[in-house]
Structure 1
Amino acid sequence: MEHADAGPAARGLCFRCFGQWCNLTGFWFLGLCNNFAYVVMLSAAHDILKRQESNNSTASATVSLAVDVGGGNSSNSSIYDCNPVSTGAVLLADILPTLVIKVCAPFFVHYLPYGVRVVFCVAMATASFLLVSFSSAVWMSILGVIFASISAGLGELSFLALSVFFNRNVLEGWGSGTGAAGVAGALLYSVLIQAGLSPRNTLLIMLVVPLLMLVSYFGLLVPVSPFPQWRREEAAAPNSEERQQLMDGSEEEEEENSAPETRISGALSLTEKLHIVRGLVKFVLPLGLVYFAEYFINQGLMELLFFPNFSLSHAEQYRWYQVLYQVGVLASRSSLRCVKIRKIWILSLLQVVNAVILLVAVAYQFLPNAWFVFAVILYEGLLGGAAYVNTFYFISKETEDRHREFAMAAASVGDSVGIAVAALTAFPAHRYFCSL
């Protein structure tokens, strides 16, 4: 009898482990696909807009927003080799739709089933690739970038909210996948262009990525209710003794490897949501500060960190800055299983120190070569990625069950606010240095 019971128990454990790996893999691909169009679209739009500029000189004023940062500015008499308009202009155009969605959507998006949201995100990403591929006017390319931004913004808040209905380790998959999107998107686009494909054909090939998002959501994830936040079960919520065991540090590993507990929940009132938002400030502010310093470096300073006597050209230096940054992000967003950092404010301060060091380096040009900048940029990416995954891990861990889904969606606004403020700050910084 004892042996007869062991078989089903072992099979059940095997099935549960297989389901956990499916969910982890599914969230990894969802993170990759969600951020892929967002990463690729700016590079592609630059190429398309430059082609349109050569065909239509009347569009030159608008196209100047998207001039390749790798090239010098022959019309600029500044001691810095910089473009007339800060690259923050392009970043601002790309981040604003995402910011608007993240601010507004958590208050009403729960009326839409997750499957509908996924299909909408896929449609937006597909439309962005098609619009930029077949663009015949500047406004079409800009609209394509906006569609990619909408897809990424809605997808991020939706998948972060959805993660609360799975084991918490799916956040590891999501974080690693979003980090991989930066490296894979930039690398794949560059490789295909270098291989001789046109930007149009390259983007058409990348239409497989939105399809992969559909497969990941509907094919890999263990199904949940279309409205899981409204799911009600007969089972009671964990009692105080059980909850204490879950909170006990000695039980942390068991908690993370077990199935998520049953949640008894209903739609939150506006008052409850505002109360949750106030409680998220301690998470959102440090995350926003990390991303402010990070993108002030990327969009306000990185272009100005040019070493004319170095073995690499300005374009090559900038390209390596971007690659090393994305590698750092990928590494740290994949590190949640190895290390967890509760005090996000420490990462914020370290990132601000990076920004100050590089700002002083731009102002006084005391660095001998690009190697120091390479190291700082890699370190910058590590800090940013670590702040992202740890913020959402501890929100998921410390927020009470009924509030967790809304909290995860609402907190996603933190990085977008930081990026938007950084883009605005990059304008005067860029103007000042380029006027010298």
Structure 2
Amino acid sequence: MVASVSPNTEAYEMPPTIASERSLLRNASVDEDEFPIQQSEKGLLLKLGCSFFLFGLINNVLYVIILSAALDLVPPSTPKGIIAFCNIAPALVAKVGWPYFLKGRIRYTQRLVGCCALSAFGMLVVAFFDSLFMRLLGIGLASFSSGLGELTFLQLSTTYSPPSIAGHSVGYFSSGTGAAGLVGAFLWWEVRGLGVRVGVGLSSVMPLIIPLTYFFLLPSPAGFGPTTPYDNTTAYTALATGEEDIAGEEEGSSRPLADKHHVYLTLNDKWRLVRPMLIRYMLPLFCVYLFEYTINQGIAPTLLYPVPDHPFLSKIIHSIRDYYPLWQLVYQTTVFLSRSSISIGLPPLPSHLLPLPAIVQFGIFLTLTVESAIGIFPSNTDEAWSIVLVFFLISLEGICGGSAYVNVFYRINQDPPSPETAHDIERARQEREFKIGSVGFADSSGILFASLFAVPMEVALCRQQVSRGKLLCKGL
């Protein structure tokens, strides 16, 4: 059983020579029979990667299932945008509320078990109630749980050290969230024939994978050695076991239960940490998601062409109703690949290039908007070139979105502590947890704003197409 762990406040120095020898042993290519710890560490890394991949997959898959099932969850007269709104707004509330307004040590076990129960309950409400209000309520509960779960898993990654191990956790969590798009859409395609009650009801058992993974697969941070992150003096600290988590300061409480020193971040402390991240991390993430989801929800439904008379494309596209699912499949696939970039060994983006995905995404947004409105891509009788160019741009859109997500959170995870808290281990720990948890509202708010812009944008683009004689959007 894995308990949440945190560093003690006392550190001891390891001689540099020993630290150097230990580092060499870890990094060198050596005989595993001579140094069996190498095999043990490989096994721990595999378990850690699988655990965080499952966390990302299960935490986000219900979100995708809800969106995929939107047509079946509400009456035909109800705008489908209300599903998207109820599926993101509660998650945004969770991402703002928990890191900014609660203080103290995070109780990971209680929080994750609570998220699991809330997700399962929300999906059961959707499954067993037919009224629109109750289904939207169930979607909201599952959304709140997903938002809280995402920031919790990102915060959990900061409890691992050294930085390479913490980055390993973030990379695999990001890969899991990318896989959720493909897995969720596929699962609903397979079970939708069973109806909402059975199909959504079956999906309600999926959150149980999270506590099973947490208790039985996730390795303890202590298993990777007692190195404290970001300490150039090679300081080491003994990592706690489960007893410290039980005796530690309770999340949301200002009363210390057993700590010698009462440590928690005030609102002023949190604002001090957030201020330098607004432009560096939050703005690029917000912009990427604003453009990305406006493309997906407002522009992609209008990227329609006659059914192609082409040897290859005609095997994929049989009617104009096939275009939008095709664009979504291309998008979800490239998001998964780009969110997996770090976990498969590709180097992360340098910090100064973090705005690049947002800039490219804006260019894609403008290009596809103009193409939808007036038609700028070269075309012939079968529209093959237009379809190929849109395919390329949607692929690039997914790459930009996934790259922005994984690289922003990876870089936050790798940030060293502030100089004034570098030697206060408990405060540095809480600062790392808050920083990575505080940024999540940027992507969710971008999605929320996009859902508000997308509906009038789709209507306007369709009207523009009709005005120039292209009536395909009216035939859906």
Q: Distance in 1 between matches of 2:452 and 2:267?
A: 31
Matched, 1:23 2:22: no
The one-letter code sitting in structure 1 at the alignment partner of 2:202 is: I
Q: Normalization by structure 2: what TM-score?
A: 0.73
Q: Which residue of 2 aligns with 1:339?
A: 347
Q: Distance in 1 between matches of 2:399 and 2:269?
A: 35
Deviations 1:294-321 (A, max 9, x none): 0110111111111134443233211111
Q: If each structure's helix is expressed as a fraction of its own residues, which one has the higher value? A: 1
Q: Which residue of 1 aligns with 2:210?
A: 213
Q: Which residue of 1 aligns with 2:450?
A: 422
CA gap of 1:236–1:362, structure 2 versus 1, over 3 A, is closer
Matched, 1:315 2:318: no
Deviation at 1:173, TM superposition (A): 1.0
Q: Which residue of 1 aligns with 2:395?
A: 378
Deviation at 1:133, TM superposition (A): 1.3
Q: How does 1:234-313 map to 2 (within 5 A)?
A: 240-242=232-234, 266-281=263-278, 282-310=280-308, 311-313=317-319
CA contact (8 A) 2:291 2:365 kept: yes
Deviation at 1:262, TM superposition (A): 6.5
Q: Which residue of 2 aligns with 1:153?
A: 147
Q: How does 1:16-415 map to 2 (within 5 A)?
A: 16-50=41-75, 60=77, 63=78, 65-66=79-80, 87=81, 89-107=82-100, 108=102, 110=104, 113-166=107-160, 167-168=165-166, 169-193=168-192, 196-223=193-220, 240-242=232-234, 266-281=263-278, 282-310=280-308, 311-336=317-342, 337-342=345-350, 343-367=353-377, 368=379, 369=383, 370-400=387-417, 401-402=428-429, 403-415=431-443
CA gap of 1:236–1:348, structure 2 versus 1, over 3 A, is closer
Deviations 1:317-371 (A, max 9, x none): 1111111111011000111121311211111100100000000011103444433
RMSD of Structure 2 on Structure 1 (CA): 2.8
CA gap of 1:396–1:238, structure 2 versus 1, over 3 A, is closer
Deviation at 1:143, TM superposition (A): 1.2
CA contact (8 A) 2:99 2:437 kept: yes
The one-letter code sitting in structure 1 at the alignment partner of 2:96 is: V
Q: Which residue of 1 aligns with 2:249?
A: none
CA gap of 1:145–1:98, structure 2 versus 1, over 3 A, is same
Identity %: 33
Q: 2:35 aligns with which of 2, 7, 10?
A: 10
Structure 2 runs not aligned, ≥5 long: 1-30, 241-260, 309-316, 418-427, 465-476
Q: Distance in 2 between matches of 1:139 and 1:202?
A: 19
Structure 1 runs not aligned, ≥5 long: 1-5, 54-59, 67-86, 226-232, 244-258
Q: Normalization by structure 1: what TM-score?
A: 0.79
The one-letter code sitting in structure 2 at the alignment partner of 1:374 is: F
CA contact (8 A) 1:333 1:389 kept: yes
Deviation at 1:422, TM superposition (A): 1.6
Bigger shift: residues 130-139 or 324-333? 130-139
| 1:341 partner SS | coil
Deviation at 1:383, TM superposition (A): 0.9
Deviation at 1:285, TM superposition (A): 0.6
Q: Distance in 2 between matches of 1:134 and 1:317?
A: 33
Deviation at 1:145, TM superposition (A): 1.4
Q: Distance in 2 between matches of 1:313 and 1:14?
A: 53
Bigger shift: residues 164-173 or 180-189? 164-173
